Structure 1
Amino acid sequence: MLQFFSFKGTINFLGHAIPVSCISAILVLSSLASIATKGINWGLDFTGGTVVELSFTQVVDLAQIRSGLTSDETDGSVVQHFGSSRDVLIRLPVKQGVKSDIQVAQVMSIATSLDPSVVQKRVEFVGPQVGKQLAEQGGLAVLAALICILIYVSFRFEWRLAVGAVTALAHDVIVTLGVFSVFQLDFDLTVLAGLLTVVGYSLNDTIVVFDRIRENFLKLRKNTPIDVVNISITQTMSRTIITTGTTLIVVIALFLKGGTMIHGFATALLMGIFVGTFSSIYVASLLAIKLGINREHMMPVEVEKEGADQNTLTP
């Protein structure tokens, strides 16, 4: 049976590495399988379409609006509240051979039948080509972020730690995308922003752990690499709990009370915080151990000064 504490009150995190790694592998493989089979439910920001924002003078029933948007021109529309129960946001998909003006006219016809004083506050159109470019650029943004992080951590620490950090970030991104794929949640630009925020949040947590690992490798000369990593994670655990807890308070508030427009953003952050904290311990640090990180790799490079080995001549 694995011991929960290794020595002197240090939590034996890596003692549970095998079962936790299996869980992590299952999550990643399940996410990849869902993305390959079900795909991502791209929002209108990526697929293109028309967005109409309406302001009613009284509370409106969304079901009545949806029942009127069943024609060939408006089928597949997304209707949701925007801020309050009197403000409505309607997303109309691109239809072959149908102009957006016709779609907007049908929306206004339905809206005025429910409330003659309805106000059309905003109409925006995103072409399918623009949406495709946004999807490509969003994917490149995530890829570029991971490459830059790999380079930075390699210079800042050591390449074995860099590989662990980038693998942990890729793990977080894949699992978060898998959740959106499994539940077919709408993936728009706000979710992409949340995904990039998850990368930054998880990296910050990983860097804190790595910095303590490097310090302890130089201090604890007689301990094994596994012991050093366990000690380092235990020492930073109080900081992780406080940071994660305070962040969760804000994110949960956004998730419950933030409104529909940032619901996807809050969902991505909520998933990313849990997965990112988990991966900093059991993905990044464990992979560095598997790659053979040790004290010699953490030692600073000694630079010989010119003329240091020359004898001083006395007159």
Structure 2
Amino acid sequence: MRLRLVPKETSLDFFRFWKTTFGASVLAMVASVVLFLLVGLNFGIDFLGGTTIRTESSQPVDVGAYRDALDPLGLGDVVITEVFDTNFGPEQNVASVKIQAQEGEEAVSNAVLDEIQGALRAYDSNITFPSVESVGPEVSGELIQTAAIAVVLAIMAVLVYIWLRFEWQFSLGAVAALVHDITLTIGVFALLQIQFDLAIIAALLTIVGYSLNDTVVVFDRVRENLRKFKQRPLVEVLNLSINETLSRTVMTSVTTLLALISLYVLGGDVIRGFVFAMIWGVIVGTYSSVFVASAILLYLGVTRDTSKTDGGAGTQFADIDA
């Protein structure tokens, strides 16, 4: 007996209250923009500037002990990670200590550096500091600009890809879903004030890929059913297509979330922000594929090309058991 997360055949009406769900999505996006403008993001060292200190010792790196040693200094945001390299010898235990720029300063001052080194030496007398690097506000500003450009270019590439593969109505629906996912992710980071750094930008780009994949699977089945059921109303075709791919959607989302939740609980502070963004992205990405992308398609309508067959739609894996 196989476990099913959803019945083999479903007939859920996803568009019974589509205007309400779409309106709620729009309101959530507006709220996210307001939070971003009024509250702002809790930018990390990558975007605010700061100093990175590289440490090396014959003793194993203990991130918790390093943090306890530095906490009394009141340095603000401190990120400590162990550095691994196959070229390191058995006596080379390397760590990276990132400290945000202090108020009114472009980088950590020499006096503060001396305090940091003294605190770490008090814990480990054998520790050395091979390098100290600072990132100023100018470089941080360039990183913010580059990150924003990367996200915009990814969305534009998706727009062109969907437009070429389907029709412009499908393209606008897919891009609307991506904008929805990214906007809500930024909004929840502004609301919860979770640290926003380059790892979160990587998560946003990953969310774009995940959400797009889910949307394309649904749209492929929609295109196939539009050719198969030429006289059915569009809303019925959309409902049928989503129900037919529901098993695949649920299975993909649940298995992905199981892995992400495990990482969130056991992965530690270093990747927790990234994993949280991915968890949130999977949830809103699954939601937007149905209640945003498909709703846009229903509103705009689509021209049916009856001259083409339904072969080659690429949905042979849409009916896997869930």
Normalised by the size of structure 2, how large is the TM-score?
Answer: 0.80
- Determine helix, strand or coil for the equivalent of 1:222: coil
- Determine helix, strand or coil for the equivalent of 1:262: helix
- Determine helix, strand or coil for the equivalent of 1:82: strand
Alignment correspondent of 2:196: 187
The superposition leaves residues 252-310 of structure 1 with CA deviations (integer Å, 9 ceiling, x where unpaired) of 122122222221111111110000000000000001110122xx344458xxxxxxxxx
The superposition leaves residues 50-79 of structure 1 with CA deviations (integer Å, 9 ceiling, x where unpaired) of 12355676662745522223xxxxx4x323
2:293, 2:274 → 1: CA distance?
25
% identical equivalent positions: 34
Instruction: Sort the Cα spacing of 1:98 and 1:199 in 2 relative to 1 into closer, same or farther, 3 A.
Output: closer
The answer to whether the Cα contact below 8 Å between 1:82 and 1:260 also exists between their aligned partners in 2 is: no
Alignment correspondent of 2:141: 132
The answer to whether the Cα contact below 8 Å between 1:169 and 1:203 also exists between their aligned partners in 2 is: yes
Alignment correspondent of 1:165: 174
The CA deviation at 1:90 is: 4.1
Normalised by the size of structure 1, how large is the TM-score?
Answer: 0.82
Would you say 1:213 and 2:222 are equivalent positions?
A: yes
Instruction: Sort the Cα spacing of 1:173 and 1:298 in 2 relative to 1 into closer, same or farther, 3 A.
Output: farther
The CA deviation at 1:128 is: 1.7
Q: Tell me which amino acid in the other structure corresponds to 1:290.
A: Y
The superposition leaves residues 217-253 of structure 1 with CA deviations (integer Å, 9 ceiling, x where unpaired) of 0001221100000000000111111111121122112
Q: Tell me which amino acid in the other structure corresponds to 1:204.
A: N
Alignment correspondent of 1:82: 81
Q: Tell me which amino acid in the other structure corresponds to 1:151.
A: V
Would you say 1:262 and 2:263 are equivalent positions?
A: no
Which blocks of at least 5 consecutive residues in structure 1 are unaligned?
1-7, 70-74, 302-315
Would you say 1:196 and 2:205 are equivalent positions?
A: yes
Instruction: Sort the Cα spacing of 1:109 and 1:232 in 2 relative to 1 into closer, same or farther, 3 A.
Output: same
Instruction: Sort the Cα spacing of 1:52 and 1:99 in 2 relative to 1 into closer, same or farther, 3 A.
Output: closer
1:185, 1:38 → 2: CA distance?
12
The answer to whether the Cα contact below 8 Å between 2:169 and 2:300 also exists between their aligned partners in 1 is: yes
Q: Tell me which amino acid in the other structure corresponds to 2:38.
A: T
2:82, 2:275 → 1: CA distance?
15
Equivalent pairs counted in the alignment come to: 286
- Equivalent position to 2:72, from 62, 67, 76: 67
The answer to whether the Cα contact below 8 Å between 2:52 and 2:96 also exists between their aligned partners in 1 is: no
2:217, 2:128 → 1: CA distance?
51
Which blocks of at least 5 consecutive residues in structure 2 are unaligned?
1-8, 84-93, 309-322
The answer to whether the Cα contact below 8 Å between 1:158 and 1:298 also exists between their aligned partners in 2 is: no
Aligned-CA RMSD value: 2.6
Instruction: Sort the Cα spacing of 1:223 and 1:126 in 2 relative to 1 into closer, same or farther, 3 A.
Output: same
Alignment correspondent of 1:311: none
The answer to whether the Cα contact below 8 Å between 2:173 and 2:292 also exists between their aligned partners in 1 is: yes
Q: Tell me which amino acid in the other structure corresponds to 2:77.
A: V
The answer to whether the Cα contact below 8 Å between 2:81 and 2:270 also exists between their aligned partners in 1 is: yes
Select between 127-136 and 46-55 the one with higher mean Cα deviation. 46-55
Q: Tell me which amino acid in the other structure corresponds to 1:184.
A: Q
